[in-house]
Each structure stands twice: as structure tokens, then as C-alpha cells.
Structure 1
Amino acid sequence: MQIRRTAPELATPRVVARTAGLLTVMAGLAAVALVLGTPGGLDEVPRGIVALGPVSCLLGLVMMRWGHRVRVIFFQALLAIGSSAIGVYALHAPTADGVVALLALMSFVSMAAFLFFPLLWAFGFLTELLVIGAVVVHLRPDVSVGAAVVVAVLVLGAAGAMGVLAQRAATAAEDALTGLANRRGFDEVLDAATHAALRTGEPLSAALFDLDHFKAVNDANGHAAGDEMLREVALSWGPLLPPRALLARHGGDEFSLLLPGHDGGRALAVAESLRAALPHIGTSVGVAQLGLGDSPSDLMRRADAALYRVKSFGRGRSELDAETQCPLARDLAAALAAGRSGGLSVHLQPIVTPADGGIVGVEALVRWTRRERGFVSPADFVPVAEKEGLVGALGAFVWTAACEDARTLAEATGRPLFLSINVSGLELDDPGFCDRVLATLAVTGWPAERTVVEVTESLVEAETARSVHALHVLREHGLRVAIDDFGTGYSALARLDTLPTDFLKLDNSFVAAITTSTRRARLLRSVMALADALELVLIAEGVETPEQAQVLAGLGCPLAQGYLYSRPRPVAELVAELAAVSPAS
């Protein structure tokens, strides 16, 4: 048996106040009855005992009405003082019957102790009551042993009954497998937290966690393995929770998390930290923040909607509900839901050979025209997508649109072009990313061997194990990898021989100075020699003038792109321009 180290979960402030108040009122009425039933009336009863009844009744009524506003420790202190007071009053009672009657009030105290206190403290209080009773009986020889035993049995029985009821009531809101709160317990706390948040203005967020492919674990290894996974999740996440947070098993393989004092952004960070704590267990998470006028069911509905979107786009990540996002994020989410009709599109920028300007490939660049507000720069909306959990959906749109448009361009021109697509670190870190990319290639009919995945040098410097593994997987399926913005970082050189890399894209800030700096031109020649030694293809970005193109051609740079050759344009415009040109030989 696990010793309970905290007060029962049903010992909420209102329950404690009302129960303690009722027991105090009943004890006061018993004291009044004792005074009225004593032979000789008030003259035979000490004034302290006479005052005990009315004072207790008044105190009990006050506690029932306003006691929920004070901390539970107040009631615990009151219980300790009350126990000692009962012993003192019993010792000075005028008759043996009065002693027994007063000691019997200890049964109320024992009941309250097992309701308000952790189990060890409750047993300590019970011991205190029995010691006080034994001392009083010893000092009052007119009290028979039989009567004392009856009182002791009454106190012990009341304590035992309340302890069992309190434990059963507390575990009714507890999940038997994991020891976490169950859905009933979560809903009770959620209801109270929602009312408190709406009253005080404190932020409140909730998250729903779904264990990815849990059914497959059960089917492959049996339900015992699934149960062990659920227990592992509970044990691993419990110590990582912030103060006041409540983690519950919502049902099946779904967990819920309540985060008082956390806005949506902080809640999303907590969700991500919990996911990262169990990298071998895939987890999808939907997060929502309580909005003005929301009910508890509204909050959980929005968290569930966010979870559904995560699972729809491949699982294995977290997403914040769009209703709590900034206006730009909400509009972006709506545009992603609408697809191409939502203002999102892909523009293609040609990649050419500097010697003759012949097009050999294209880079796909996402564009967005926001309804009623016009063009939005990728520098503005891509970071928002990453921050608000929309990068997976944005990446899925870009891959599909880019493959479709590249196929249209290749078929219209007869050119065996390659397609280059930018990928964020968040996408690469998604366990389902590779499967989605390969599925998109299969659906659109675009060949993997003519597809290049572009990653930034900063991502290469981070070199997370999952990201690098994803690049290896994609290369095994025929895709190639390019390091974008090469030359702006400081640590990628040491990793070029170990990372899965096929192309180096030289940053445009590097190219801009090759016509004005002889040292920069010599450095470019050295970088080209390095790329040749490592069997990598160099692509010079940001070529804007004929002079830059001439220098690149003179140095033998294999590939280039920039506004000199073409701006990023819709596929229809490129088709119209290139359709009349004969295919490259």
C-alpha cells in the first residue's frame, strides 16, 4: 500500500470549510445539550463549558459561510487547538457522564483529521486524541473503564470510516494504471480553474497528447506492452511539470495537461519539452489557450481541433490552436486550409550555367498574397509559421505545389530540370517528414533523383541527430541535398565530409563583391576547388550584374542563379518564356 503523503484530493477549500463548519456546529449543539442535561443546571457547570456550545455553533456557521477564503492550514490549527480544548473541558466536567459526552466529541475531530490531513498526520492526530482521552480517564477515576473503551471504539471507528471514504472518493478521480488523474478528476479541476481564470484574468491553457501508433504497439506486443508504455509516459512527465500543472490520462492513449498561469506560447513550449523527454515514443500534441467567454468544453474542443490538425499532417509535433494565434497566423492557417485558392503559391527561380545561361533547374520559393492586405514577405510569415506550429502544413503545401509546377514546366519545355526546395529545421526534426516527402513525390509523379533538399548552414551547424538522419534517408531514396547560404557560418567546413551533401549554394553576400575585390575572387576560386575535391556542385546565388556572371563563367563556376537570369516567377510565365526555346542538349 502506498502511504498518502498529501491531503485527499476531495479536500478542496469549500469542502473543508463546510465539513469543518458542520462538525463544529454539531459539537457546539452537543455541548449545549450537555449543559442543559446536567443535574443542578448552569450552577454546576464551569463557565468555560457553558460558553463552549454557543461559541462553537457561531464559529461553525462562520466557517460554513466564509471558511473557503482561508487556507486549509487554518482548519488544521483549529483542529489541534480543539482537541486540546476538549480534553481540558472534559477534565473539568462536573459529572462522569459529562466527561464521557465531551470525550465522545473527539469522534468529530478524528473524522475531520482523516479528511483534512495527509495519512501520516491523520494517524498522528488520532494518537493525540487517544492520549488525551487516556489522560483524562486516568485523572477522573469516576469514569468507568467500559465507558472509556466505548468512547475509544467510537473515535477509532469514526476515523476509520472517514479514512476509507476519503480514500475511495479521492481515487474515484484517479487512473488506476498510471496513478494520474482520470478524465473525471481532470474535468473537475478544469471547471474550477476555468472559473478562476475568467474571474482573475490569469491565463489558462490546456494540451491534449496522443501517443502515435499506440495501437500498433498493442497489436504487435500485447496489451501489457501498451500498459507499460502508458506508465512510462506518466512516470517520465510527472517530474517535469511546472507548478500547479495537472497531468491526466484522458482515456486510452490520450493524456491531457492543464496549465494555469500559462499562455498559449508557454504552454506550447511545455508540450514540446515533454515530447522531447520521450524521443522514442512519438507524440502528437494540440494546445489551446482559454479565451474570453470560453467554457471548459470550448477550451478542450479547441485543443482537440489542434491535435486533429497535427495528426492530419503527419503526427509527431505540437500545434497551438489557431483561435489564440496572432492575426497573421490565423490568416495563414486559413490560407493553408484553402490551398492555392487561399492566396498561397509557389514561384520558380531558374538555376543556370553561367557560361551560356542555359536553365538546368529551378528553386521553389513560397509566396503569399493575403486577402485584402496584399503581398506578404516570406521573411514575415515563415517565422510566424514556425512559431505557431504551421510550418508542417506550409511545408506540405510547398512540396506539393512545387512538384506539380516543376512537372508542368519540365513537360512543357522538354528540359530535364531539377527542383530545389527549402526545408526548415522543424520539418527535418519531424519523424514523419521523410515519409510525407516520398509520398508527395509518388502522388505528383516528380522523380526523386531530380529533387534537391535545401537546408541552411545554421541548421547544419546545429546538426541534430534526427535532422541528419532524415537527410540520409532522403538521399537513400535518390534525393540530393544542398547547403544553402554557404559562407555565412563558421563551422560547416569541418562537417562537409561527413554530412550528406551534394550541392553548396554560395551566399549572395559573397557573390556581390567578386567584381570589386580580387581577394574575394581568389577566395571563390578556392571554394570551387574545395567543392571539386569533395565532389560537390557549387551554385552561386544572387547574381545581379553581367560583370558578376562574366567572373563566375571565367572561374568555371558550374551553376548560378539570381535576378540577372530571372526573378522567381509563376510557372505559367516560365513556360511561356521557355516553351519556344529548344530543349537543352
Structure 2
Amino acid sequence: MATPRVMARTLSVFFLFGGVTGSLVALGAGSAGYGREVLAGLSLCAVLAAAVAHRWGLRWRRNVFHLPLAGGGGLILAAVSVSPDPASAVVCAAIMSFVIIDVYFFFSFLVASTHLAVWLPAVTAALLAHGTVSWGTTLALDVIMIALGVVTRELVVRASGASRDPLTDLRNRRGLDDALRELMVTVPRTGERLSAALLDLDNFKTINDTQGHDAGDAVLREVADVWRRALPPSAVLARHGGDEFALLLPGVPGPAALELVRRLCALHPDIRLSCGVAEYVVGDSAAQLMRRADQALYAAKAAGRGRCELDGGEVSDLARDLAVALTHGDVAVHFQPILQVATDDVVGVEALARWTHPERGPVSPSEFVAVAEQHGLITALGEHVLRQTCTQLAALHAATGRRLRVGVNVSGIELSDPTYPDRVRAVFADTGWPAEEVVLEVTESLLDAESATSVATLHALRDLGLKVAIDDFGTGYSSLSRLDTLPIDVLKVDHSFIAAITTSPRRTQMLRSIVALAGALGMDVVAEGVETPEQDLLLRSVGCTFEQGWLHGRPMPVAELQATLERRDGELTRATG
């Protein structure tokens, strides 16, 4: 079916030619009188209708086009009735073919056939009521109009096939581009809101690889069917390619679009989807709008997948405050000790960003890191934390002689930046901190096995001397195949896994297996979230390499860390003395 822009243009052209045809019939009618004047007036109405459709038709929704088509049919029937002679009546009745072509071009087959069922008997009755047109001529005209409808519908079906995805029966990329192009013409003129969304099925490749392509196709059809039924009629849903869908939401602002896609994603409890949403702003081109939606999708993936993010068209107050805090150096770094089990000595720390808002007080890292990722501040935040970490630990080393290995969290957005290794190298050069004493901690979910850029970045960083740790290992994203495909030196077992080891024999055995596997692969294991002596004792018994948690120290500023180290050294000296 046609887009509103094409519908408006087609309708205006047919009204114009219908008016011109009626005017010519009036001029060439065989006899003068009332009929010719009325026919000329009806023709003028058709021309005016053409002007209205051309000027305002772009703003009409699809259903509105039923009204001008009904008005056109009424004008034609009136023209047939007042035609001064049989030839004029037949010509006026033939103009009804314009209406038949329009309805089969504009609407579904069922709706178009309903129009045909109304107008064909009406024009037949009008011709027969004229009294001078034979049954044969009338039926011949009916056959012509039916044929035009059938051919038009066939051409529409064939043309639309080039713009539809055969698997899901949604629009394909070409169909989406056509719809977006139409909207980008109408939206600036009407001032209507418009949002675009890109959706990606997480780990879709795994479904194809483990369950087969038929299972993957079934998932794509399920998502298409569910969303098609749940979306408003004005929405445009398309399969953008592979496992990615695109959505256009005319009349829907960005925040409302975000809530809508979140509700729809929740309809698939067994399918994880990441989604990026962007709202049209004045001056956007179609490419810019979709690029911002793609950036929001990337932010959703980088934040852990299974999320829906809104492009930061308007920077939030918290983002502005975070940008100011980064400029003034108000984001602090705290350090949590990491204990080497074999020696009972603190040999490392994890660097953790901390921000105290001047009005709100302490802000959760999960909140301000998400804001940084959404509003393009994550690069500045990551570099600030790394630089502060290296500077403070270099000063600690100068004061105490202790050189601690430090774990630093890195965002998936940073890893996808090819310039990230150069920026890291510059920080080491400026601070004098050795790369060999830094462990980059990467949440496994941030590393897409298909992301060549991220994996290449990790290899480049390891070439500098850094180590790589997989953080939160043991959560839902864990995959043994990743231990082979990713450059990994350390496994950090998630605190939620450690919390149950003293109450679950099976969890204990799994932990023992993880430690053994890591040892066989030449990897160290860090147990996170160690809070009780019982957990510590069990971790020692299974051969865990390192421990981290409140039992050994909470995150603290570098001055407090120095005091803690000195106190532990003193206690150790007294114990051995």
C-alpha cells in the first residue's frame, strides 16, 4: 500500500484530471442548458479538491483518505446524472475508474473491494437511470473498472514485495527507508513528533549455532508477530537486517517511545532484546535520526544488554553535574584491597569511582556510570579514573615502597574505540605507573564475541603489558567458549556466586571446578564479595588464588589504604617477631 505522501499526490492528480475531463465534457456537450452548467461547476469542485489534497494531503492519516474518495465518487455520480447526452454520461461514469484505481492502490484488498462494491452498482444505476445508455454499454464499463481494480492490485502486490521481508512479512530496509523518507518530508511541515528505535536480539548467533537456523527464524517471526499486534496503527515496523528490527513511531515523543519499547520487550521473557530510541529534532536528516538511534542501541549493549536506552538529545541535570564534576576533579577513586590467599598479604586493589553530588549526596556508581554512557561522558570518566588511580598509587609506592597491582573497570564503549590503547599508553607515560601492574576488568556481557574491534583492543592492551580480567564470572552470561576466544588472565567470580558457597554443596563443587579449570588454563581466580570467615576458609580449601570483600577491607581513599597497609604490616611483624 502507498505512503500518505504518494496517496496525496495520486489523489490530487486524479482529482485534477477528473476536473479537466469534466470541463471538456461540458464544453463539448451536444446541447446547452442546465446540465452543462452543473457539470462545469462539479468539474471546478474537483479541481479545487485537487488543490486541497496537494496542499494538505501530506498531513492526513491513511483513514482520512476515505473521505475525499467518497466525495469524488459523489461528484462523479452527480455528473453522470446531469450529463446532457449519453456520450457525456458514459465519459463521466468512466472517471469512476480513477476512484477504483485509488482504493486498490491506497488500501487493503478487503477495504478496496468494499469501495468497489459500493461504487460499481452506484455508477451502473446512475447510467441506467439516465435512460439513454444501454445495458451492454453499462456492463462493458463495469467490466473495464473491475479489470482496472484487479490489475492495480496485482501491481501493488508485486511492487510491495520488493519492500517486504519474506520471513517476517514486515517491511525490509528498503521499505523502512521509503517510509522514513515520507515522514521526514511531513514531520518538519506539520511539527508532529517522531521517534525511531532500533532493536537487536542479544546472542542471536548462539541460537542459530546451537539450535539451528529454523529455531532462529522462529524467534524472528515471534518477535515480528508480537510487536505487530501490540504497536499502534501508525507505527512502522521493519526488519532492518539479520536479527535487527527498526521502528518508526509518528506522533510519539522520545520518552513515551522508550516506555513503549520497554513494555514490548517485556512481552518476550525468554528473548533478550537491546533497544536504542531517538526522537527527531529540528534539522535532523533521516540518516542522523537513525544514527542517533544506533548510538542509543550501542549504549544499551555497552551497559550490559537486555536494556532500552534513549538517545541523550537533551542532557539531563545529572549529566551536566557529572560533566562539571569531571572537569573539576570531583569524582574520587577509592580502593578495595585484594588479598593473596597463599601469603595473607594485600597484593592488589580494585579502583572504584565515587561521586558525592553537592545536593543529592553520594550517587550510586551504577547510576552515574549509566548516565556517563548515555550522554557521552564515559570516555572522560574512564580516563579520569585511570589517571587518578595511577597517580595516587605511584605516590603510595614512593611513600611506602609497596607497588600494588590494580584492577580498573573499563566500559564496552571504551573498548570499541580504536584510540583507547593510545590514551591508556599516554596515561602510563604521564604518571610513570607500569602497565604490568594494571588489570583491566571487563564484564563478560560487554564483550560480544563478534565484536572484532573490542577483542582487537584487548589484544593491543595486553601487548602494552596489561592483564585482562573477566568480572562477575559465574553470572548468566558465562560461557566456557569465551575462555578460549577472549584474551583472559584472571577470572573474578561474582559475589552472588560466593554468597552461597557455604550453604550449597553443589555451588562449592562448581567453584572447585572453576578454580581447577582456571589453573589448567593458566588463569588466576579472584573471589569477590568475601564477607565471612567461613567463606574465607572454604575458598582456601578449594585453592582460590585471591580474595576481595568486606572481610579484608571496604573501598577506601588512598590515605586510608596506606594506613591499613601499615597497620597490617605492623601486625604481621609482631606475629612473626
User: Following TM superposition, by how much is the alpha carbon of 1:23 offset from its aligned partner in structure 2, in angstroms?
Assistant: 1.7
Query: Equivalents in 2 of 1:559, 1:480: separation in Å?
Result: 12
2:56 is equivalent to residue 21 of structure 1:
no
Q: Specify the code of the residue in structure 2 equivalent to 1:162.
A: T
Deviations 1:355-380 (A, max 9, x none): xxx9989995723589xx99996526
What does residue 151 of structure 1 align with? 141
Q: Which residue of 352, 367, 374 corresponds with 1:383?
A: 367
Query: Equivalents in 1 of 2:360, 2:283: separation in Å?
Result: 32
Q: Which residue of 247, 256, 267 corresponds with 1:277?
A: 267
User: Following TM superposition, by how much is the alpha carbon of 1:55 offset from its aligned partner in structure 2, in angstroms?
Assistant: 3.7
User: Following TM superposition, by how much is the alpha carbon of 1:294 offset from its aligned partner in structure 2, in angstroms?
Assistant: 3.0
User: Following TM superposition, by how much is the alpha carbon of 1:104 offset from its aligned partner in structure 2, in angstroms?
Assistant: 1.6
Query: Equivalents in 1 of 2:102, 2:172: separation in Å?
Result: 26
Q: Which secondary structure state, in structure 2, belongs to the residue aligned with residue 131 of structure 1?
A: helix
Cα distance change on mapping 1:218 and 1:334 into 2, 3 Å: farther
2:558 is equivalent to residue 569 of structure 1:
yes
Q: Specify the code of the residue in structure 1 equivalent to 2:495.
A: V
Q: Which residue of 352, 363, 376 corresponds with 1:366?
A: 352
User: Following TM superposition, by how much is the alpha carbon of 1:250 offset from its aligned partner in structure 2, in angstroms?
Assistant: 0.8
User: Following TM superposition, by how much is the alpha carbon of 1:182 offset from its aligned partner in structure 2, in angstroms?
Assistant: 1.8
Checking the alignment, whether the CA contact within 8 Å between 2:128 and 2:135 is kept in structure 1 is no
Q: Which residue of 495, 506, 528 corresponds with 1:453?
A: 495
The number of equivalent residue pairs is 475
Query: Equivalents in 1 of 2:510, 2:259: separation in Å?
Result: 28
Q: Which residue of 154, 160, 168 corresponds with 1:178?
A: 168
What does residue 21 of structure 2 align with? 30
Unaligned residue ranges in structure 2 (runs of 5+): 410-441, 449-468, 474-481, 501-505, 516-525, 537-549
Query: Equivalents in 2 of 1:294, 1:472: separation in Å?
Result: 56
Unaligned residue ranges in structure 1 (runs of 5+): 1-7, 353-357, 422-426, 461-468, 483-501, 505-531, 538-557
Q: Which secondary structure state, in structure 1, belongs to the residue aligned with residue 283 of structure 2?
A: coil
User: Following TM superposition, by how much is the alpha carbon of 1:192 offset from its aligned partner in structure 2, in angstroms?
Assistant: 4.5
What does residue 452 of structure 2 align with? none
User: Following TM superposition, by how much is the alpha carbon of 1:126 offset from its aligned partner in structure 2, in angstroms?
Assistant: 1.2
Indicate the larger mover: 174-183 or 238-247. 238-247
What does residue 348 of structure 1 align with? 335
Give RMSD over aligned pairs.
Answer: 5.7
Query: Equivalents in 2 of 1:66, 1:159: separation in Å?
Result: 26
TM-score by length of 1: 0.62
Q: Which secondary structure state, in structure 2, belongs to the residue aligned with residue 348 of structure 1?
A: strand
Query: Equivalents in 2 of 1:314, 1:445: separation in Å?
Result: 21
Cα distance change on mapping 1:45 and 1:179 into 2, 3 Å: same
User: Following TM superposition, by how much is the alpha carbon of 1:101 offset from its aligned partner in structure 2, in angstroms?
Assistant: 2.1
Q: Specify the code of the residue in structure 2 equivalent to 1:24.
A: F
What does residue 284 of structure 2 align with? 294
Cα distance change on mapping 1:45 and 1:253 into 2, 3 Å: same
Cα distance change on mapping 1:474 and 1:185 into 2, 3 Å: farther
Checking the alignment, whether the CA contact within 8 Å between 1:32 and 1:50 is kept in structure 2 is yes
User: Following TM superposition, by how much is the alpha carbon of 1:252 offset from its aligned partner in structure 2, in angstroms?
Assistant: 1.3
Q: Which residue of 123, 127, 138 corresponds with 2:117?
A: 127
TM-score by length of 2: 0.63
What does residue 514 of structure 1 align with? none
Cα distance change on mapping 1:325 and 1:17 into 2, 3 Å: same
Cα distance change on mapping 1:162 and 1:398 into 2, 3 Å: same
Cα distance change on mapping 1:240 and 1:94 into 2, 3 Å: closer
User: Following TM superposition, by how much is the alpha carbon of 1:158 offset from its aligned partner in structure 2, in angstroms?
Assistant: 2.1
Query: Equivalents in 1 of 2:199, 2:509: separation in Å?
Result: 29
Query: Equivalents in 2 of 1:350, 1:278: separation in Å?
Result: 41
Query: Equivalents in 1 of 2:51, 2:192: separation in Å?
Result: 32
Q: Which residue of 161, 165, 171 corresponds with 2:151?
A: 161
Larger radius of gyration: 1
Q: Which residue of 472, 492, 509 corresponds with 1:437?
A: 472
Query: Equivalents in 1 of 2:115, 2:163: separation in Å?
Result: 26
Q: Specify the code of the residue in structure 1 equivalent to 2:285.
A: S
Deviations 1:423-447 (A, max 9, x none): xxxx99979899643489x978667
2:70 is equivalent to residue 80 of structure 1:
yes
Q: Specify the code of the residue in structure 1 equivalent to 2:92.
A: L
2:32 is equivalent to residue 42 of structure 1:
yes
User: Following TM superposition, by how much is the alpha carbon of 1:228 offset from its aligned partner in structure 2, in angstroms?
Assistant: 1.7
Q: Which secondary structure state, in structure 1, belongs to the residue aligned with residue 166 of structure 2?
A: coil
- Percent of pairs with identical residues: 33
